[in-house]
Amino acid sequence: MTRMISRRGFIAWSALLGSGVLSGVKADRVFSAKGAVGRNNVISTWRHGLAANEAAAEILRNGKSALDAVEAGVRVSEGDPDVTSVGYGGLPDEQGRVTLDASIMNSKGNAGAVGCIENIKHPISVARKVMEETDHVMIVGAGATEFAKLHGFKEEDLLTEKARKAHLEWKAKLSDKDDWLPPPKEDDHDTIGMIAQDDRGDIAGACTTSGLRFKIHGRVGDSPIVGAGMYVDNEVGGAAATGRGEAVIKIAGSHLVVENMRRGASPMEAIEEALKRIIKAHNGNPEFQVAFIAISKQGEFGALALRKGFQYALFRNGANKLYDGEYLLS
Ligand code: SD4
């Protein structure tokens, strides 16, 4: 059943957040007044977004740009071996190879991305190099690793013992009943998408992932595709996605969220409309998770998922908190 978040619902939702009732979290005014440009705000996906937000906030406190903040922020998840869907420690593809996707976008509308890169721990920084050192947007596969090495990145084995064992176990259980894209378990969707707004009100975004576990070798998801996994327009806002990348790519999800905001939708309304496109495209009942986070230029926030279980981390007014995401399908 689709839960309707009507305009009235949005008002009630924001009132709940304001009163701290929702998720048992004491939230201050999450939605700032229209016209008031937010300062030093960071939103990111999932629980590991908390540590990533801390790193991003530290950069912002030092007066640096939203771009520096999102890069530093998501690098924390990339470097954490316990985060099994991002960077080092990410679960491998069907061949046991860890292949990573990442994209970054600055407030000037420039973007860089890498797809299916191997043996490089911080693909987000390679994506930034693509943006700043070339006139290309995206480099993939062996070319991306080669590009990274030429720019001084160290080649290293990213397959942890935990990830290797998980792959072996998956292989041992292989049968013709296996689904290449099985429904998510709670801990399967951990891509980090992050949108930050700095002291000047400028917005930047980053998204980095090892993608779907045990995917077909060479599969690239939404995360490195500018406009799908992440998008920023500094006049309007930014958005990032997590979950089933194929569904996000097909609606150019993050771009759609930003364009909805351009037409006057709040971040929550903008996300709801995008998610409803996915619901419609899957006969009213997509059997997977997708969630978006968004920040508007005015410093408003939104985070919404198709299904229960999504969490996001929000750094605002000096406080960094984890929230349970609202969702549309029950
Ligand atoms: C992908 N969107 O590769 C990513 C997966 C993901 O949390 O978000 N996991 O499709």
Catalytic residue check, 191:
yes
Task: Determine the distance separating the centroid of ligand 1 and the alpha carbon of 174, expressed in angstroms.
Answer: 22
Neighbours of 192 (CB within 10 A): 33
Cα 91 to the center of its chain, rounded Å: 17
Q: Mean pLDDT in the chain?
A: 87
Q: What share of the chain is helix, strand, coil (3-state, %, to 5)?
A: 30, 20, 45
Query: Among 84, 85, 307, which is best to mutate for testing ligand 1, by the most ligand atoms less than 8 A from CB?
Result: 85
Spatial CA neighbour of 32 closest among 287, 278, 266? 266
Residue 250 lies in a domain: yes
Spatial CA neighbour of 222 closest among 234, 232, 231? 231
Residue 10 lies in a domain: no
Question: Choosing from 191, 208, 209, 242, which is the catalytic residue?
Answer: 191
Report the pLDDT value the prediction gives residue 174, as an integer from 0 to 100.
72
Residue 7 lies in a domain: no
Q: Would the pLDDT of 23 be above 60?
A: no
Predicted TM-score (pTM) of the model is: 0.87
Q: Are 213 and 87 in contact (CB under 8 A)?
A: no
Say yes or no: CB of residue 243 within 6 Å of ligand 1: yes
Residue 5 lies in a domain: no
**Higher pLDDT, residue 53 or 171:** 53
Mean pLDDT throughout 197-215? 95
SS (H, E, C) 78-89: HHCCCCCCCCCC
| Phi-psi domain of 43 (left: phi exceeds 0; alpha: psi -120 through 50; beta: other) | beta
Q: In angstroms, what CA-CA distances link 237 with 68, 110, 150?
A: 17, 14, 34
Contacts for 3-10: CB closer than 8 Å, 24+ residues apart: 3/327, 3/328, 3/329, 3/330, 5/268, 5/269, 5/272, 5/304, 5/326, 5/328, 7/269, 10/266, 10/268, 10/269
Q: Are 17 and 44 in contact (CB under 8 A)?
A: no
Task: Determine the distance separating the centroid of ligand 1 and the alpha carbon of 223, expressed in angstroms.
Answer: 7
Report the pLDDT value the prediction gives residue 153, as an integer from 0 to 100.
98
Q: Would the pLDDT of 61 be above 50?
A: yes
Q: Would the pLDDT of 310 be above 70?
A: yes
**CA–CA separation, 133 vs 139, rounded Å?**
12
Number of domains into which the chain is organized: 1
**CA–CA separation, 74 vs 48, rounded Å?**
9
Q: Name the amino acid, one letter, at 315.
A: F
Spatial CA neighbour of 245 closest among 181, 293, 168? 181
Q: Coil, strand or helix: which one is 303?
A: strand
Report the pLDDT value the prediction gives residue 323, as an integer from 0 to 100.
97
Contacts of residue 55, Cβ cutoff 8 Å, sequence gap at least 6 = 72, 73, 75, 76
Residue 21 lies in a domain: no
Read off the CATH number of the domain in which 318 is found. 3.60.20.30
**Per-residue tokens: 188:** 């399967």
**CA–CA separation, 329 vs 103, rounded Å?**
29
Report the pLDDT value the prediction gives residue 29, as an integer from 0 to 100.
33
Cα dihedral across residues 34, 40, 44, 46: positive or negative? negative
Mean pLDDT throughout 269-296? 96
Report the pLDDT value the prediction gives residue 39, as an integer from 0 to 100.
79
Task: Determine the distance separating the centroid of ligand 1 and the alpha carbon of 191, expressed in angstroms.
Answer: 5
Q: Would the pLDDT of 111 be above 90?
A: yes
Q: Are 197 and 257 in contact (CB under 8 A)?
A: no
**CA–CA separation, 121 vs 89, rounded Å?**
9
Mean pLDDT throughout 159-181? 76
**Per-residue tokens: 322:** 């984890």
**Could you tell me what percent of the chain has a pLDDT over 90?**
74
Angle, helices 123-133/141-150, rounded to nearest 10 degrees = 80
**Where is average pLDDT lowest: 143-157, 183-197, 276-290, 315-329?**
183-197
Residue 304 lies in a domain: yes
Mean pLDDT throughout 187-193? 77
| Residue recorded with tokens 């992050």 | 194
Say yes or no: CB of residue 245 within 6 Å of ligand 1: yes
Range of the domain at 311: 27-329
Say yes or no: CB of residue 14 within 6 Å of ligand 1: no
